[in-house]
């Protein structure tokens, strides 16, 4: 999955969570292919998701929801 895909899915999920204009920084995690760090400015800790080739948008969304609500 490409960075722009992760960002698109993250923005949609965060809108559903009530953050329609969230400021995000999304970056791959060094040394861990298929792992992404999603930093939502003003929200700690950052979200760490796993996705790669063949991952569904629903899988990414579910990880965001699970971690955001913890």
Check residue 19 and report its DSSP letter.
-
pLDDT in tens, 21-69: 999 999 999 999 999 999 999 888 999 999 988 899 999 999 999 999 8
Q: Would you state the pLDDT for residue 42?
A: 86
CA distance 54 to 15: 24
Q: pLDDT band for position 70 (50/70/90)? A: confident
Predicted TM-score of the model (pTM): 0.90
Q: Which domain holds residue 55?
A: 3-68
* Angle of helix 57-68 versus helix 3-16 axis, rounded to 10: 50
Q: How many domains is the chain built from?
A: 1
């Amino acid at each position: 999955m490409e960075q722009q895909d992760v960002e698109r899915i993250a923005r949609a999920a965060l809108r559903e969570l009530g953050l329609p204009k969230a400021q995000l920084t999304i970056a791959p995690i060094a040394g861990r292919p298929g792992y992404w760090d999603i930093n939502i400015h003003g929200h700690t800790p950052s979200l760490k998701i796993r996705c790669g080739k063949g991952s569904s948008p629903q899988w990414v969304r579910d990880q965001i929801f699970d971690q955001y609500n913890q």
